[in-house]
Structure 1
Amino acid sequence: MSLARALWAENADLAAAALEHPFVQGIADGTLPTASFAGYVAQDAFFLEAFARAYALGVAHSPDRATLDAFADLLAGVREELRLHASYAARWGIDLAAVEPAPATLAYTDFLLATAAFGRADVICAAMTPCMRLYAHLGQSLAGREAETYAEWVITYADPGFEELAGTLEALLDRSATDGPELHRAYRRAMQLEVGFFDAAWRRA
């Protein structure tokens, strides 16, 4: 089993908690209030900007051309995701420039940027892979039974192109990493922060 697959399996409890979370299930069945989803989109856009910066730091700290190219491709993928959020914002009148990050959002972005600033490509990958793999997992798990209200969200993360991006990051993790406790801690912490992000969004619902 690859390291990326082993880390994902090791955190199956948190993946299940995210999928079963009432916020995610509210997206799936369309019962989540649109105001709550709009608030989530605003927070997620703030998060994704930090995620993009972390990829940029990964580019800067890349030890070789293959790692640089992989981080650059992943950064392009986040830019596409941000365009989706911009379309939501335009549709619902959200001013993304005026978003005040919630504590759960800041906890996650601070963790990612601090990890990326440290400069080790393998730890950066371990901290960033959970977001990509988890959202691919959520999209694929909900695909085919999503309500119309938030179908675009499910379709985006169920798309094979998003799975390919998640696989790119996992392959980079496998290629760059030597297994050790620091990688396991970074991966686990990111998964915990993902569930915490949904918890915070649900409390605002």
Structure 2
Amino acid sequence: MTLSARLWSENTDVTAQVLDHPFVRGIGDGSLPRELFAGYVAQDAFFLESFARAYAFALARSTDTATLLTLADLLAGVRDELGLHASYAESWGIDMSGVAPWSATLAYTEFLLATAAIQGPAAVYAAMTPCMRLYAWLGQSLDPDTAGPYTQWVQTYADPGFEALATQLETLLDEQHADTPAVHATYRRAMQLELGFFEAAFTA
């Protein structure tokens, strides 16, 4: 089993909580109140900008061409995600300017940026992989036919192209050969922050 697969399997307790969370279930059956989703979209756009910067830190420190090109692809994937958020903002009248981040959003972005700024590549990839893998898994687990106004969201993360990006990031992590307690703890922390983000989106 690869390191990324082992890390994912160690965190199925958290992923199960995410899939069963009322916010995610509300997306899956289309019942989530629009105002909750609107708040989530604005916060997630704020988060994704930090996610892109974390990729940029890793890209700037990459030491081989293959890694540089992979990180460039992953950074372009964030651009596409931000485009999805912009389309929701335009069609739903969501104000994306001057977003005041929730404490859960800041906890996640500060964790990512601090890791990207001071840690080595194994820790950076371990901090970033849970977001990509979790969203790919959610897209594949939810049914776009029942998602109602959130069908586009489900389809975006169920798309094979997004799965390919998640796999690329997992491959970067696996290539570090860094099966250490610190890497396991970093991955676990990121997964817990994902759960906390959905909880904040539901209670804000």
Which residue pairs with 2:52 in the alignment?
Answer: 52
Determine helix, strand or coil for the equivalent of 1:96: coil
Tell me, in whole angstroms, the C-alpha distance in 1 between the residues paired with 2:72 and 2:132.
15
Tell me, in whole angstroms, the C-alpha distance in 2 between the residues paired with 1:21 and 1:80.
26
Which residue pairs with 1:117 in the alignment?
Answer: 117
1:91 maps onto 2:91 in alignment: yes
Change (3 A) 1:144 1:32: closer
Which residue pairs with 1:14 in the alignment?
Answer: 14
Tell me, in whole angstroms, the C-alpha distance in 1 between the residues paired with 2:5 and 2:42.
31
Cα distance, 1:97 vs structure 2: 2.1
Cα distance, 1:119 vs structure 2: 4.3
Which residue pairs with 2:77 in the alignment?
Answer: 77
Aligned amino acid, residue 99 of structure 1: V
Which residue pairs with 1:41 in the alignment?
Answer: 41
Cα distance, 1:61 vs structure 2: 1.4
Cα distance, 1:145 vs structure 2: 4.6
Contact 1:19-1:138 within 8 A present in 2 as well: yes
Contact 2:3-2:174 within 8 A present in 1 as well: yes
Cα distance, 1:148 vs structure 2: 1.8
Cα distance, 1:178 vs structure 2: 1.7
Contact 1:143-1:158 within 8 A present in 2 as well: no
Gaps of 5+ in 1: none
1:154 maps onto 2:154 in alignment: yes
Tell me, in whole angstroms, the C-alpha distance in 2 between the residues paired with 1:111 and 1:166.
20
Which residue pairs with 1:193 in the alignment?
Answer: 193
Contact 2:14-2:195 within 8 A present in 1 as well: yes
Contact 2:74-2:165 within 8 A present in 1 as well: yes
113-122 vs 139-148, which deviates more?
A: 139-148
Equivalences, count: 204
Tell me, in whole angstroms, the C-alpha distance in 2 between the residues paired with 1:44 and 1:146.
23
Tell me, in whole angstroms, the C-alpha distance in 1 between the residues paired with 2:128 and 2:99.
23
TM-score of the pair, normalised by structure 2: 0.97
Matching of residues 56-71 of structure 1 within 5 Å: 56-71=56-71
Contact 1:29-1:146 within 8 A present in 2 as well: yes
Tell me, in whole angstroms, the C-alpha distance in 2 between the residues paired with 1:119 and 1:9.
24
Aligned amino acid, residue 134 of structure 1: L
Aligned amino acid, residue 149 of structure 1: P
Which residue pairs with 1:174 in the alignment?
Answer: 174
Tell me, in whole angstroms, the C-alpha distance in 2 between the residues paired with 1:146 and 1:113.
36
Determine helix, strand or coil for the equivalent of 2:175: helix
Gaps of 5+ in 2: none
